[in-house]
């Protein structure tokens, strides 16, 4: 949902969604017992792996935002840097 907001809703909604995703990056851990889920095809999906993959798939959109949206540029660049490092704590 955060990536949808980042992609489709410029301004404060985009900035807020970027901030939330950056706050989660490397820090968010699902509650015990909720580390994975079963998708509609019956495959078990790791939550963190799915988040990282979805952000990886949105790199092009994030790069466009970093180039064109002066209000969200810094946040998008920070998320791109964090994504490039994998699910690690950002400083």
For 3, list phi and psi in degrees, rounded to 5. -65, -35
- Domain borders along the chain are 2-85
> CA-CA distance, 79 to 65, in Å (whole number)?
11
| pLDDT tens track for 18-75 | 999 999 998 999 999 999 999 999 999 999 999 999 999 999 999 999 999 999 999 9
> CA-CA distance, 60 to 37, in Å (whole number)?
27
pLDDT at 90 exceeding the cut of 70: no
């Amino acid at each position: 949902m955060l990536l949808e907001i980042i992609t489709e809703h410029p301004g404060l909604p985009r900035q807020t969604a970027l901030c939330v995703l950056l706050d989660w990056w490397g820090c968010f851990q699902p509650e015990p017992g909720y580390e994975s889920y079963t998708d509609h095809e019956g495959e078990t999906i790791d939550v963190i792996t799915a988040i990282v993959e979805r952000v990886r798939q949105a790199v092009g959109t994030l790069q466009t935002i970093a180039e064109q949206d002066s209000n969200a540029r810094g946040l998008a660049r920070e998320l791109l840097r964090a994504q490039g490092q994998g699910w690690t704590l950002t400083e």
